[in-house]
Structure 1
Amino acid sequence: MTTSENKNAHSPIAQDPNTPYDRGPAGGWGSLRGISRIFGDVGGSTVAAKILANLNKPGGVMCSSCAWAKPAKPAKFEFCENGAKATLWELDEKRADAAFFEEHSVSELKSWHDHDLERAGRLSEPLRYDAARDRYVPVSWDTALQEIGQILQRIAPKEAVFYASGHAGLEASYLYALFARAMGHQNLPQSSNMCHETTSVNLKTFIGTPVGTCTLEDFDHCDAIFFFGQNTGTNSPRFLHTLKAAVERGCKIVTFNPVRERGLLEFVDPQNIMQMITNHPTRISNKYYQVKPGGDIAVLAGMMKHVLAREDAAPGTILDHDFIASETTGFAETAALIRAFDWSEIEAQSGLSRALIVEAADIYIAAKNVIGIYGMGLTQHVNGWLNLGMYCNLLLMRGNIGRLGAGMSPVRGHSNVQGQRTVGIGEKSAHMPAEKLKAQFGIDAPSEEGLNIVKASEGVLDGSVKAMLSLGGNLLRALPDRERLEAAWPNLDLTVHISTKPNRSHLAPGKVSYILPCLGRTDIDRQASGPQAVSMEDTFSHIYGSLGTAEPPSDKVRSETAIVAGIAKATLPPNPRLRWDEWVANYDLIRDLIAETFPDDFSDFNKRMMQPGGFYRGNPARDRNWKTESGKAQFTPPTTLSALGQSPSGQNAMTLITLRSNDQFNTTIYGFSDRLRGLEGSREIVLMNRKEMDRLGLTEGQTVTLRSQIDDGIERQIGGLKVTPYDLPDGTVAGYYPELNPLVPLSYHEKNSLTPAYKGTPVEVRA
């Protein structure tokens, strides 16, 4: 088997030929086949075709999948394979109705695969769990809301947790955040807690903003793009069109990732007739380096070390001294520590040679404008804070933050995960200022910080949390330490799921448990004043309006906004300034409230929400207005060269990274084809390279068990995993999320944000 170094030294697309991989490019005919399969599975209709034709366009539906930008001048088809799958999945013609739940007990449904649960169809009426019959049974909306409100009134406010996935629009999200604070708590964990919270917490410390600094325009002016730990081909495929255009005008793309992902290697544009006919791809990455899991800090330290060496050799020609002096602090201390690192240590921690790191650094130096892209490969580590700190360091050395064509650009996952935080879903008072709520609504919002998802989960385990409301999502399936949490969840006094389809979290009902069916993004939302639009925020801080055009699955399905308002009204004492019914009747009124609460971000909200390309709410760091403690951008002195919290130890020890397949979005499994990795069929697999298989005496197809090496007195292991050869760095195993989540303890998380360390867990392989 050739080494990563040899492959990378010659070609960005060289691949170990003795392991599975997809021979074709991302996009192209494979993407169209993937869409057509789902179209047939869910009973695709002319309505679905019309929605796809207007997806992500002004006046149309904004995709419920990723948070990539919706350009002001969209392509003829402004959707990707995964966006089409998410849309078609929501338009499913099947119904998970009362008859379905009468036929299948909860105990039986626990034996179903996640894919099959959601394939049961759209939820079409409110349901309450009947423990005596072990079934969900129909219930009226009035009864459901009344009982939920009564239980929430009985418990202390801090015993309730209001979780939100990234699906709900800004309108429902704002009311949810307001409801929690009016009730008296800030227990508002969100899906960001499990993915990009490392960004929200740490980027604000480094450069004064909790989100990325780039906009779509920057990609027209950058000279180089560096990728760390982000799989564009699966997680945000529309980004590939932007990358293709950048490459074609001469921009160089450099990728660091333990896995060779096809979307960052080659791409055929499905809307380019000549490319489709010839199947001749655009090469995306100029260089592709397979860094070890947790080795990104070492790579960045090596690149910085070479930048400093080049500056020493030609003083005043490499660093942006004016920018460093006027806009930053901490450079001297950081540079001294970087200089002190030995190259042998950098090579050992990164898994790459000095020559390869220098090669990447020279591309960085040669580029005037550089964009830094990253994903969960950087955020889901114990030392994820330092991953981001070092990445900022590298960009700051040459002034690559706060100017056109340059910046820090995390690629967010769920469509409105960033927007929900913007309008108040979060555990801190800063997320929804108490003085504003007092002035607007006369309520005394709590000052005590609430629970994020790790603290909330700990509360479920120790019994201090009594009620869990979920605004979308499949929380229990997404969490680490899942087996412990699944055992504890039924002890909750109340569980409420606001959902479009059945999922695994519904199958661990609390003492009282409701499933409340909600409209999807594609559905017509009819209220008293007429059809309503909802809004969301993309990864570039642009706000868009979305208007559903499909008939809802039944007349008993309500909007997320109406459900949140209904629970709030049933729970809270009367307050004439909390006008829940009026807000549900006309979402314009909610957007007026959002603009009043957050005037800097949402002025003239209703007038601008249907603006082509969205309206930009701004970013201070983009204007070099550093909202940090020092008032300047902060260089971060490195304290270690590894992002891992614990290195694996022992003969059979490896570092585990979890992956999402090409047929998946978060916990939703559309099918069993991981086409872009050349893998088909079972998800119960463990990937490793053939060299490691030989070292451990394992054969292809052999069944093994993975055991967590985190020693906290709790045994965590998963068996029945088939060994599958794959092109990975030495010392690395990979498997699917969420199947391998039980191997990661709740306590194994990023230092500051508590984001689970899904990309760097020490495990041992047992035959």
Structure 2
Amino acid sequence: MNDPKRDVAAGIPEKFSNIRLSKPMDYAAGKLAVAKTLQHGFMEMGVVKSFRALFSMNQNDGFDCPSCAWGDPEHPSKIGEYCENGAKALADEATNSHIGATFFKNNSVEELARLTDYELNKLGRITEPLVLRPGSVYYAPISWQEAFELMAAELHKLPSPDEAIFYTSGRSSNEAAFLYGMFARAFGTNNMPDCSNMCHESSGVALSETLGIGKGSVKLEDLHEAEVIIVAGQNPGTNHPRMLTALEKCKENGGHVISINPLEESGLVRFKNPQTIKGMLGNGEQIADVHLPVRINQDIPLLKLIIKKLALLDQKSEQVFDHNFIEKYTQGYNDLMTDLATYEEADLLVKCGVEEELINQTVGLLANKSKIIVCWAMGLTQHKNGVANIREYINLILLKGALGKPGAGTCPVRGHSNVQGDRSVGIMHFVDKDLNKRIAEHLGFNAPEKEGFDVVKAMQAMHEGKAKIFMALGGNFLMAASDTEYTADALKRCDLTVQVSTKLNRSHLVTGKTALILPTFGRSEKDEKAGELRYITVENSMGKVKKSRGLLKPASNKIMSEPEIVANLAHTYFKGNHPVDWIAMGDDYSLIRDKIDKVAKGFDSTEQRIKNSGYYLPNNVRNLDFSMLPNGKAQLTINSLSELRTKKDEFVLMTIRSHDQFNTTIYGLDDRYRGVYNERRVVFMNPKDIKKLGLKDLEVVDMTSHYDNTKRTAKKFKIVPYAIPVGNLAAYYPETNVLIPYNHFADQSHTPISKSVIVKIVGNRELETV
């Protein structure tokens, strides 16, 4: 296990599966989604357990979906408030397949590393704490107390607290994340990278700069009332399927939907709602009124062109822009209009690659509407100019006065079930002086005032030997981060790596000198203490805090809840000598919620207000309060065009999910909406580009990227012809993360450039028969 390249490459199948292609589907959900949902659930959980869990998921008295962070209605459907991918996430978590000491005694780390990520995930739930000791290739059982003492001893050895890194995945609860963040600070560091650094950090920066809060402003019901919803850089049919119900209601109420994305995704063509007769037996609802197939990372020229056309109409009628709103609530209008005049429409049209007729249709839909919502995801954030991308969309929102009223606002759609809540309760690498004051007042210790490592800096610190301990509260850091080989090498240079997990993933196989796996509960499982059934809380994409309480029997009596794991680690490290009673809070989550109310901004009386459907955290944008911004105004901004340039033999690649995955978790090998079955190592390519390179459909190629005199290679991909802009490519992650350089990321936010990687296609004909 000394060669990180071998460790990572071991996840590449020796042979291709029997790939099958079909025409991409022109609708999402419907009877087929129901069938796939039940098939997956029955296979993993059995019939009775599946129905019992599914009818409890996302209900007010049930547990929160372990998949995406989409908001729940005030009165959830009793038929079932879940989608296909949420059901897959549940089945994956509550699987009847388990692995423990015997399994690991018979399967070395080296043997497991040869499996694909899909095969690793299918092995099942981990049922007891495990340790991989120096020189060994087998994980062995370890008692919980021994594990805590091992971690505490290693932490005490560090010359500086800043040599430890505490990573957080978005699956963690508010209670676990709060304790974890407070322990890191009590230990003495702000090294708290989290999965938000790799996804919506650009959103947080852009929204904070322009509107004063790093979150969206809409509630779920606003989407029902909107006149126009723009869905940009997002694929809700696969990544946030329950969002389609909200879009359907918008359409039924007379609203319009505009899709902006290099790929036309099935969910934005038509939606067959499985909860309605029309959806099950009929043709469903057409979703997008217009689709703009923008070239990768050319949203800014597209938006500038749309705004220029709207400005011309505004000059004629003075009714297109909301000038009363602009005057009262915004700053920068004249500068924005002056800058806009420097661009030629013809140049912007060429850069964005969208037909002018489609842009004119979009302008027509927007011109006389003021109840507008912009929804977006990674297609906007994961670029060097990711922050600027979002600011340009916010310009449109501000010019139309589309804030602070029903049916209008901003909607960054979070990809993990509590990534927003983690940040709200204090998981952050930067310093918040007001938060530190509240920590001192209510927890009795002084938090560090030095900024910590985000994901990019954490990778660099481990690689350079400046960080020796890495702990992950959930997630699969190795496969989620950019530059897979570099990240693997960084992790292997640590003295200790610790993974709090439910299932095996590649981060357990590429480790430090010593490695621990600490198994924890899934959302759907009962969390009992002294006969009491405990609950946790989470925050959704709309800023609503709700409770989550599992009902299934835990996978093992040797697993421990995340809050208790953190509490026991802290108690062991401080040897019981600390102002915070960690053990008490690990036992009684209401004590944690009481401290969250006092320390975290916006939380108040949670224990009382959480009893029914939950409550919304304060949001200044909903009240049109911009007092925290310069001159007390929302900020219109001037954003430059993307500097992305390619040579004749180069392409721009964006990484995407298949329909059978959630983040780095692979549920299956099909992507039926795009018509790809039984294979993941594919690259979607425009037929004109295939012909230009003299290649053919399903030919095997490598992809290479060349940054800073370093060549990176993703090996053995089959070409799939697809409707994608010329010069653009798409392929699934995490297989393509190896191409993304660790030191190329979004300005200000450090989000990796996962959606705009410049690559070359390298022919590999000798591998066609493999």
Residue number in structure 2 paired with 1:706: 703
Q: Which amino acid aligns with 1:173?
A: A
Q: How does 1:48-197 map to 2 (within 5 A)?
A: 48-75=50-77, 76-155=79-158, 156-197=160-201
CA contact (8 A) 2:687 2:722 kept: yes
Q: Quick check: 1:763 aligned with 2:759?
A: yes
Pick from 301, 305, 313 the counterpart of residue 302 of structure 1.
305
Q: Structure 1's 477 and 730: CA in aligned 2 closer, same or farther, altered over 3 A?
A: same
SS at match of 2:447: coil
Q: Which amino acid aligns with 1:302?
A: L
The Cα of 1:576 is off from its aligned counterpart by 4.8
CA contact (8 A) 2:129 2:519 kept: yes
1:678-705 deviations in Å (ceiling 9; x for gaps): 1111111111011110011110111111
CA contact (8 A) 1:182 1:572 kept: no
SS at match of 2:324: helix
What percent of counterpart residues are identical?
35
Pick from 422, 425, 434 the counterpart of residue 424 of structure 2.
422
Counterpart-to-counterpart distance in 2, 1:431 and 1:425: 14
Residue number in structure 2 paired with 1:648: 646
Q: Which amino acid aligns with 1:706?
A: M
Counterpart-to-counterpart distance in 1, 2:261 and 2:675: 17
Counterpart-to-counterpart distance in 1, 2:422 and 2:97: 30
CA contact (8 A) 1:20 1:725 kept: no
Measured on the aligned residues, the alpha-carbon RMSD in Å equals 1.5
SS at match of 1:388: helix
Residue number in structure 1 paired with 2:284: 281
SS at match of 1:192: helix
Counterpart-to-counterpart distance in 1, 2:478 and 2:742: 13
Counterpart-to-counterpart distance in 2, 1:255 and 1:386: 19
Q: Which amino acid aligns with 2:745?
A: H
SS at match of 1:456: helix
The Cα of 1:713 is off from its aligned counterpart by 2.3
Residue number in structure 2 paired with 1:676: 673
Q: Quick check: 1:239 aligned with 2:240?
A: no
1:391-423 deviations in Å (ceiling 9; x for gaps): 010111111122221001111110000000000
1:3-54 deviations in Å (ceiling 9; x for gaps): xxxxxxxxxxxxxxx9853335201122112212312331324233112112
The Cα of 1:176 is off from its aligned counterpart by 0.4
CA contact (8 A) 1:343 1:354 kept: no
SS at match of 2:751: coil
Residue number in structure 2 paired with 1:611: 612
Counterpart-to-counterpart distance in 2, 1:251 and 1:241: 13
Q: How does 1:205-220 map to 2 (within 5 A)?
A: 205-220=209-224
1:448-493 deviations in Å (ceiling 9; x for gaps): 0111000101111111111100000001111111112212321101
Residue number in structure 1 paired with 2:10: none
Q: Which amino acid aligns with 2:207?
A: L
Structure 2: state its 5+ residue gaps: 1-19, 764-770
1:624-669 deviations in Å (ceiling 9; x for gaps): 11132332100011222x2xx532212x211001110110000000
Q: Structure 1's 83 and 593: CA in aligned 2 closer, same or farther, altered over 3 A?
A: same
Q: Which amino acid aligns with 1:199?
A: S
The Cα of 1:371 is off from its aligned counterpart by 0.5
CA contact (8 A) 2:72 2:220 kept: no
Counterpart-to-counterpart distance in 2, 1:462 and 1:123: 32
CA contact (8 A) 1:527 1:584 kept: no
SS at match of 1:210: coil
Counterpart-to-counterpart distance in 2, 1:64 and 1:35: 15
1:434-460 deviations in Å (ceiling 9; x for gaps): 111111122111000111000101111
Q: How does 1:618-633 map to 2 (within 5 A)?
A: 618-626=618-626, 627-633=628-634
Pick from 552, 564, 578 the counterpart of residue 566 of structure 2.
564
Q: Quick check: 1:311 aligned with 2:308?
A: no
Counterpart-to-counterpart distance in 2, 1:752 and 1:335: 25
Query: How many residues are aligned here?
Result: 741
Counterpart-to-counterpart distance in 2, 1:344 and 1:764: 29
CA contact (8 A) 1:707 1:766 kept: yes
TM-score scaled by length of structure 1:
0.95
CA contact (8 A) 1:213 1:621 kept: yes
SS at match of 2:720: strand
The Cα of 1:216 is off from its aligned counterpart by 1.1
1:83-133 deviations in Å (ceiling 9; x for gaps): 000011111111111111111110011110111111111110000003434
The Cα of 1:575 is off from its aligned counterpart by 3.8
1:330-354 deviations in Å (ceiling 9; x for gaps): 1111111112211121012100133
Counterpart-to-counterpart distance in 2, 1:341 and 1:230: 27
The Cα of 1:572 is off from its aligned counterpart by 2.6
Residue number in structure 1 paired with 2:15: none
SS at match of 2:602: helix
1:134-160 deviations in Å (ceiling 9; x for gaps): 010001111110010110111121010
Residue number in structure 1 paired with 2:275: 271
The Cα of 1:260 is off from its aligned counterpart by 1.0
1:531-583 deviations in Å (ceiling 9; x for gaps): 11001000000001011111111111000010011111122354453111111
Residue number in structure 1 paired with 2:683: 686
Q: Quick check: 1:479 aligned with 2:476?
A: no
Counterpart-to-counterpart distance in 1, 2:38 and 2:758: 39
Structure 1: state its 5+ residue gaps: 1-17
Answer with 193-202 or 316-325: which moved more: 316-325
The Cα of 1:322 is off from its aligned counterpart by 1.3
Q: Structure 1's 238 and 463: CA in aligned 2 closer, same or farther, altered over 3 A?
A: same
Counterpart-to-counterpart distance in 1, 2:253 and 2:384: 38
Pick from 341, 366, 369 the counterpart of residue 367 of structure 1.
369
CA contact (8 A) 1:528 1:585 kept: no
The Cα of 1:597 is off from its aligned counterpart by 1.0
SS at match of 1:602: coil
Counterpart-to-counterpart distance in 1, 2:693 and 2:395: 39
